[in-house]
Amino acid sequence: MALLQISEPGQSLDPHQRRVAVGIDLGTTHSLVAAVRHGIAECLPADDGRVILPSVVRYLDPVQGGAGRQIGFDALAAQVQDPANTVSSVKRLMGRSLAQVVDVDKLSYNVVEQDGMAVVETVAGRKTPMEVSAEILATLRFRAEDSFDDELYGAVITVPAYFDDAQRQATKDAAQLAGIHVLRLINEPTAAAIAYGLDNGSEGIYAIYDLGGGTFDISILRLTKGVFEVMATGGDSALGGDDYDQALAAWALAQQGVSAALNASERAAVHAEARRVKETLSSSSSEMFRSSVAGWHIEQAVSPSDFEACTAALTARTMTAVRKVLRDAGVSKDEVQGVVMVGGSTRMPIIRRTVGAFFEREPLTNLNPDEVVALGAAIQANALAGNSRDGDLLLLDVIPLSLGIETMGGLVERIVPRNSAIPTARAQDFTTYQDGQTALALHVVQGERDLVADCRSLARFELRGIPPMVAGAARIRVTFTVDADGLLSVSAREQGSGVEARVDVKPAYGLSDEQIAAMLQDSFATAQQDIASRALVEARVDADRMIAATRTALAADADLLAPAELQQIDELMASLAAIVGSEDAAAIEAATTALAKGTESFAALRMNRGIQQALSGKKLEEV
Instruction: Name the strands in the sheet holding 204-211, side by side, starting at the edge strand that comes first in the sequence.
Output: 338-342, 204-211, 216-224, 227-236, 394-398, 421-422
Residue ranges of the alpha helices (H) in 149-256?
A: 165-177, 188-200, 241-255
294 belongs to a structural domain: no
275 belongs to a structural domain: no
Same domain assignment for residues 490 and 604:
no
**What pLDDT score does 574 carry?**
92
- Is the confidence at residue 548, as pLDDT, over 60? yes
**What pLDDT score does 143 carry?**
93
Same domain assignment for residues 463 and 328:
no
Sign of the four-CA dihedral 455, 460, 465, 468: positive
Same domain assignment for residues 64 and 209:
yes
- DSSP 8-state code for residue 262: P
Task: Let me know if 279 is a catalytic residue.
Answer: no
Using a 10 angstrom Cβ sphere, with 0-12 exposed, 13-18 middle and 19 or more buried, the burial of residue 544 is: middle
Q: Spell out the residues 6+ positions from residue 341 whose beta carbon is closer than 8 angstroms to its own.
A: 209, 351, 352, 355, 363, 364, 365, 369
Count Cα neighbours of 286 within 13 Å in the Cβ-side half-sphere: 4
For the ranges 129-138, 281-290, 390-399, the lowest mean pLDDT is seen at: 390-399
**What pLDDT score does 395 carry?**
63
Last residue of one domain, picked from the residues 489, 506, 524: 524
Question: Of 164, 165, 188, 542, which is the active-site residue?
Answer: 188
Residue predicted with more confidence, 392 or 300: 300
**What pLDDT score does 17 carry?**
58
Calculate mean pLDDT across residues 214-243.
83
Residue 214 banded pLDDT, cuts 50, 70, 90:
confident
For the ranges 12-26, 389-403, 580-594, the lowest mean pLDDT is seen at: 389-403
For the chain, what is the mean pLDDT?
A: 83
Residue 354 banded pLDDT, cuts 50, 70, 90:
very high
Measured between alpha carbons, how far is 298 from 301 in angstroms, rounded to an integer? 10
178 belongs to a structural domain: yes
**What pLDDT score does 10 carry?**
47
**What pLDDT score does 125 carry?**
87
334 belongs to a structural domain: yes
For the ranges 7-11, 177-181, 374-378, 452-456, the lowest mean pLDDT is seen at: 7-11
338 belongs to a structural domain: yes
Backbone torsions φ then ψ of 491, nearest 5 degrees: -130, 155
CA-angle at 370, arms to 197 and 81, nearest 5°: 165
Same domain assignment for residues 368 and 460:
no
Measured between alpha carbons, how far is 160 from 217 in angstroms, rounded to an integer? 6
Distance of CA 260 to the CA centre of its chain: 39
CA-angle at 319, arms to 318 and 320, nearest 5°: 90
537 belongs to a structural domain: yes
**What pLDDT score does 606 carry?**
85
Measured between alpha carbons, how far is 615 from 623 in angstroms, rounded to an integer? 8
Q: 412-420 long-range CB contacts below 8 Å, 24 or more apart? A: 412/445, 412/447, 412/449, 412/450, 412/451, 412/452, 412/455, 415/478, 415/480, 416/480, 416/482, 418/448, 419/230, 419/231, 419/232, 419/233, 419/328, 419/329, 420/482
Calculate mean pLDDT across residues 301-324.
94
For the ranges 50-59, 241-250, 454-463, 491-500, the lowest mean pLDDT is seen at: 454-463
Same domain assignment for residues 553 and 518:
no
135 belongs to a structural domain: yes
Measured between alpha carbons, how far is 495 from 409 in angstroms, rounded to an integer? 24
80 belongs to a structural domain: yes
**What pLDDT score does 277 carry?**
94
Same domain assignment for residues 203 and 332:
yes
CATH number for 415: 2.60.34.10
Same domain assignment for residues 516 and 596:
no
Same domain assignment for residues 382 and 431:
no
Percentage with pLDDT > 70 across the chain: 86
Calculate mean pLDDT across residues 164-172.
83
Same domain assignment for residues 90 and 189:
yes
Q: How far is CA 160 from CA 26, 94, 272, 397, in A?
A: 10, 12, 24, 12
- Is the confidence at residue 444, as pLDDT, over 50? yes
Q: Residues 77-86: pLDDT tens digits? A: 888 889 899 9
CATH number for 342: 3.30.420.40
- Radius of gyration (C-alpha) of the chain in whole angstroms: 31
Range of the domain at 601: 528-615
Number of domains in the chain: 3
**What pLDDT score does 249 carry?**
92
- Is the confidence at residue 65, as pLDDT, over 80? no
Measured between alpha carbons, how far is 103 from 111 in angstroms, rounded to an integer? 11
Question: Of 82, 210, 406, 513, which is the active-site residue?
Answer: 210
- DSSP 8-state code for residue 99: G
Count Cα neighbours of 332 within 13 Å in the Cβ-side half-sphere: 3
Q: Residues 601-620: pLDDT tens digits? A: 888 888 888 777 766 666 55
Last residue of one domain, picked from the residues 397, 430, 462: 397
| Helix pair 188-200, 372-384: axis angle to 10 deg | 80
Calculate mean pLDDT across residues 423-427.
82
Same domain assignment for residues 80 and 143:
yes
Query: Using an 8 Å Cβ cutoff, are 286 and 322 in contact?
Result: no
**What pLDDT score does 57 carry?**
95
Task: Let me know if 225 is a catalytic residue.
Answer: no
Last residue of one domain, picked from the residues 369, 397, 425: 397
Residue 248 banded pLDDT, cuts 50, 70, 90:
very high
Segment (H or E) for 120: strand 117-122
Residue predicted with more confidence, 207 or 495: 207
CATH number for 561: 1.20.1270.10
- DSSP 8-state code for residue 288: E
| β 40-43/56-59 pair status | unpaired
Calculate mean pLDDT across residues 180-203.
80
Task: Let me know if 42 is a catalytic residue.
Answer: no
Residue predicted with more confidence, 69 or 44: 44
What DSSP string runs through 551-576?
HHHHHHHGGGS-HHHHHHHHHHHHHH
Task: Let me know if 91 is a catalytic residue.
Answer: yes
Same domain assignment for residues 437 and 455:
yes
Same domain assignment for residues 569 and 484:
no
**What pLDDT score does 152 carry?**
93
